[in-house]
Structure 1
Amino acid sequence: MAGRRRRLSTRHALAVVPGALLGVGALYVPDRVENLAGPATPVAFLVAVAGGLALSVGYATFLSGPLGDEGGSYRHFSRTWRSRALGFLLVWPKPAAYAAIVALLAQYLAAALSLPASDRLVALAVLGALLVAHLAGPAVVGRLGLVVSGGFTLFLVGLLLAGLVEVVPGNFDPLLPTPSLREQPVLSLGRATLVALFGFVGFEAVTGLTGAVRSPTETLPRALLSGVAAAGLLAAAMAFVTLGVIPWSRLMFAQAPFVDAAAAGLDVDVDVLLRPGIVGGALAALVAFSWAPTRALADLGEVVPPLAHTNRFGAPDVACVAVFGLAAALVFVDAVFVGLFLALPGLLVLYAAHGLTAAALPVVNPDLYDASAFRPSPRLLAIAGLSAAGIAGLMLWQALTLDPAVVLGYTRVGPAVAGTAGDRLVRGPMESAVPALVGWETLGLLVYVAARDYREEAGVELEPLTRF
């Protein structure tokens, strides 16, 4: 991308991470975690921060090297293992997974706005407006994200400070109030941490800014690691304030736990804070998540050349139209739940594979490893990568054993999984998530073969996989 199009800076990249990792679900912290850890819930959130950083280290290593200038996970896989087919098939579910999440959030925002028009029409208008922003170039989306994500983060910090003055230390005594918590504290905390880790789904959305930020090999790793740590610590602090204001035994009666706690500190009705919080959180998450599918699909343009096309503003126009077209189609035919069957399994397989790839990088492709500025020792990178693969594997196990409505409820888009969409998601993984993942990968294999034939007929030559 031409230098004149690299208009985004560190602050724009930093805005993507909290937008993805906080979003509307932050208003409901520590929902679904407190049942497992009791008053010790903030500890589970703190431990989860270490897991989030383990997931991020491999991405930061790749982003700090030659691949950080142009390209995301597809190039990480294909250049490390020197296999375009492997890279394509591992990344193929990502655009569809995020397109479904974007469609879900658009529907949720439409319902929250309560405009005179139908929710479906408003959701389609939101998707259309976001598409126009993307087509106008990365600078437009980056600045929009900075405004909505920055504003929402400040909103959360304000609520945090308001609730902090109402914290009652006695709410944490005893820290383990039930027999099950006292008898198996480590197991209970481990289960709670696993649920809290679902709040880090979407952390890699910032990789979508490759090619749009200045000094990407410095900016993106810094934004990724610091953003993940900051968002995780903020969530832990929010959990602490929530349980410090609302006794654990009464937390089940809270409408939106964190907002309820802040409302007590401000002495206002919960609805006064909840509605603007939902709108702000949904907007921040929409903009942040929209980077991931559009740029991931454009990255696959090396294999499917039309996807790599960019307009005069530097936007991957074909990829953007394809992603938002898919999201709009899901909304229009009322089939968002179908796309959501693929969302978590597809992303968690990607995270697990990326962790293994990062762990193997110094051995499999030492030249690429040596070219990275952020370069943990081979042993440390192996520990981080294998930890990331293990964490993603445990989360994937949850996604393949529990119904999609439950595991999506663990994520920051959980509040949006409600009503008819939530009802349709309640079904066994073997009849929903597994067929969705297998079916989509089968389609991806067909696309890959067709694209290979297209390249041969068009005489398109690909650069050697040994080049970075």
Structure 2
Amino acid sequence: MAGGPRQLSLPHALGVVTGALLGAGALYIPERVENLAGPATPVSFLVAGVGALALAVGYATFLSSPLGDDGAGAYLHLSRAWRSRAVGFFAVWPKPAAYAALLALLAQYLARLVPVAGSTDAVALGVLAALLLVHLAGPAVVGRLGLLLSGAFALFIVVLLVAGLTVVVPRNFVPLFPTPVLREQPVSSLGRGALVALFGFVGFEVVGALAGAVRSPRTTLPRALVGGVAGVGLLVTLMAFVTLGVVPWSRMIFASVPFVDAAASGLGVPAGTLATPGLVLATLAALVALSWAPTRALAGVGEVVPPLAHTNRFGTPDVACVAVFVLAGTLVFLDAVSVGLFLVVPGLALLYVVHGLTVTALPLVNADLYAACAFRVPPRLLALCGLSGASLSGLLLWQALTLDPAVVLGFTRVGPAVTGTTADPLVRSPMESAVPALVGWETLGLLVYVAARDYREEIGAELEPLTRF
């Protein structure tokens, strides 16, 4: 799935990683984690960053192979590694719907943040329509807009970070484990905090969608992915350190937007003057960055469903883009965003589990593909990264299937958007929300898969051998 000239470069790819991982909720760091790890919360964020790196190494390995020239991403990785289109299709199928729901949620959140005329849903639909037009104008337009927004937000955070560092009070970290539970179970407390912090890295794989638009993707994308995840991991660790260093752990509950509240002390300005502009900028950056994922994932399965692979003269998979944004808009129009959100964490976590296991087995199940990877770590180290990534993703999946969707989404970077009336429909047992949503969507996928097979036979479309990559 490549088309049009490759006009994007490493900075554009880093912009996508930054926008996707910082998202709408970075300014709320370390909300929810500090309740588990106390003043040692920055350590939990650091551990989570290391865990996310294990997942990133696996994706980077595949992106450095000949498969990295195509934006189909995980579909190609899984189908070629296992030589099974069905494995790739059904593992990836929840991804476009999950990200479409996130786009709908963020568009509604942005509409609530910006005081403009019209209903929230009308503004949200306008935002989605504008983003669709940007995509149809070509990958270069999306990439440049994303770099502008993500770069501006990253600069905003750095300025606040420097300001906050000037007023950090070291005694806020003494004692490091102030409660009996933290003192008696320091490792498990840090581990629980790290697991929650790990939810903030959901969406790390979005950068792979740039493969068809970026120059030298087999070297650019692995660097952007590993470097971006490592950089964001260090950044959020510093943000947690500054927040807790300025706002005492015992008073964190009173902070409305924790990181902004801490940084405002250093700048000597009211937190309210920084919070709304920062949240608007963060949400815009997240919308643009995350929009790469569902459009390219859906276009990626165009090998199985040929109409989805169609591109316009600018190299945009236009049919897939329209399908994604129509789905997102429909969720907003029908007030059914919560239904789509049931899929987000379980659908993506399941994909990460399958991908991690595939990374582990790659040297054994497809030695030729492994040998063709430019970013090729030794098999034992690759297996360690793959198993670690699959295990951590399994924990995220377990949480998504045992906690209600409102709590689970609250752990992610889109957490601030899941509040009030948005959260109410999500407070449901996973057996009444996440599980039926995942099973139902995969069942729909089965119908699409069978219908697409019949369609290919009717038009005489032949699939290339799975031994080629």
TM-score (norm 1): 0.99
Aligned-pair CA distance for 1:3:
8.1
Separation of aligned partners in 2, 1:138 and 1:170: 49
Give 1:58's aligned residue: 58
The reply on whether 1:27 has 2:18 as its aligned counterpart is no
Superimposed CA distance per residue, residues 28-56 of structure 1 (whole angstroms, 9 cap, x where no aligned partner): 00000000000000000011111010011
| Cα separation, partners in 2 of 1:57 and 1:245, compared to 1, 3 Å | same
Aligned-pair CA distance for 1:82:
0.6
Separation of aligned partners in 2, 1:274 and 1:117: 23
Secondary structure of 1:337's aligned partner = helix
Give the residue type in structure 2 aligned to 1:202. Answer: G
The reply on whether 1:193 has 2:194 as its aligned counterpart is yes
Secondary structure of 1:412's aligned partner = coil
Secondary structure of 2:291's aligned partner = helix
Secondary structure of 1:464's aligned partner = coil
Give 1:377's aligned residue: 378
Separation of aligned partners in 2, 1:58 and 1:84: 20
Secondary structure of 1:293's aligned partner = helix
Aligned-pair CA distance for 1:5:
1.2
Aligned-pair CA distance for 1:151:
0.3
Separation of aligned partners in 2, 1:314 and 1:4: 4
Give 1:160's aligned residue: 161
Superimposed CA distance per residue, residues 216-275 of structure 1 (whole angstroms, 9 cap, x where no aligned partner): 000000000000000111000000000000000000000010000011111111110000
Give 1:5's aligned residue: 5
Separation of aligned partners in 2, 1:130 and 1:24: 17
Where in structure 2 are the equivalents of 1:167-246 lying within 5 Å? 167-246=168-247
Give 2:43's aligned residue: 43
Separation of aligned partners in 1, 2:292 and 2:270: 35
Give 1:91's aligned residue: 92
Secondary structure of 2:462's aligned partner = coil
Give 2:150's aligned residue: 149
Give 2:360's aligned residue: 359
| Cα separation, partners in 2 of 1:229 and 1:464, compared to 1, 3 Å | same
Give 1:281's aligned residue: 282
| Cα separation, partners in 2 of 1:107 and 1:4, compared to 1, 3 Å | closer
Asked if structure 1 preserves the Cα contact closer than 8 Å seen for 2:21 and 2:413, the reply is yes
Give 2:413's aligned residue: 412
Give the residue type in structure 2 aligned to 1:33. Answer: V
**RMSD of aligned residue pairs (Cα, Å):** 0.8
Aligned-pair CA distance for 1:209:
0.2
Give 1:321's aligned residue: 322
What 5-or-longer segments of structure 2 have no aligned partner? none
The reply on whether 1:112 has 2:141 as its aligned counterpart is no
Secondary structure of 1:24's aligned partner = coil
Separation of aligned partners in 1, 2:288 and 2:2: 24
What 5-or-longer segments of structure 1 have no aligned partner? none
Q: State percent identity of aligned pairs.
A: 73
Aligned-pair CA distance for 1:154:
0.4
Asked if structure 1 preserves the Cα contact closer than 8 Å seen for 2:206 and 2:292, the reply is yes
Asked if structure 1 preserves the Cα contact closer than 8 Å seen for 2:346 and 2:397, the reply is yes
Separation of aligned partners in 2, 1:428 and 1:52: 28
Separation of aligned partners in 2, 1:3 and 1:10: 19
**Greater mean deviation of Cα atoms: 2-11 or 74-83:** 2-11
Separation of aligned partners in 2, 1:279 and 1:306: 36
Separation of aligned partners in 2, 1:145 and 1:72: 20
Separation of aligned partners in 2, 1:75 and 1:11: 25
Give 1:134's aligned residue: 135
Secondary structure of 1:401's aligned partner = coil
Separation of aligned partners in 2, 1:337 and 1:289: 18
Give 1:75's aligned residue: 76
Separation of aligned partners in 2, 1:253 and 1:160: 20
Superimposed CA distance per residue, residues 141-180 of structure 1 (whole angstroms, 9 cap, x where no aligned partner): 0000000010001001111111110000000000000000
Separation of aligned partners in 2, 1:132 and 1:432: 32
Separation of aligned partners in 2, 1:390 and 1:398: 12
Asked if structure 1 preserves the Cα contact closer than 8 Å seen for 2:3 and 2:315, the reply is no
Secondary structure of 1:210's aligned partner = helix
Secondary structure of 1:30's aligned partner = coil
Asked if structure 1 preserves the Cα contact closer than 8 Å seen for 2:404 and 2:429, the reply is yes
Separation of aligned partners in 1, 2:5 and 2:150: 22
Secondary structure of 2:212's aligned partner = coil
Secondary structure of 2:214's aligned partner = coil
Structure 1 runs of 4+ aligned residues shifted over 2 Å read 1-4
Secondary structure of 2:175's aligned partner = coil
Give the residue type in structure 1 aligned to 2:227. Answer: S
Separation of aligned partners in 2, 1:116 and 1:74: 42
Give the residue type in structure 2 aligned to 1:9. Answer: S
Separation of aligned partners in 2, 1:181 and 1:423: 32
Aligned-pair CA distance for 1:315:
0.2
Superimposed CA distance per residue, residues 312-356 of structure 1 (whole angstroms, 9 cap, x where no aligned partner): 000000000000000000011111000000111000000000000
TM-score (norm 2): 0.99
**Greater mean deviation of Cα atoms: 3-12 or 245-254:** 3-12
Superimposed CA distance per residue, residues 85-122 of structure 1 (whole angstroms, 9 cap, x where no aligned partner): 11100000000000000100000001100101211111
Superimposed CA distance per residue, residues 362-417 of structure 1 (whole angstroms, 9 cap, x where no aligned partner): 00000000000000101000000000000000011111111000010000000000
Aligned-pair CA distance for 1:9:
0.4
Separation of aligned partners in 2, 1:277 and 1:421: 21
Aligned-pair CA distance for 1:23:
1.5
Separation of aligned partners in 2, 1:339 and 1:333: 11
Asked if structure 1 preserves the Cα contact closer than 8 Å seen for 2:4 and 2:314, the reply is no
Aligned-pair CA distance for 1:2:
7.3
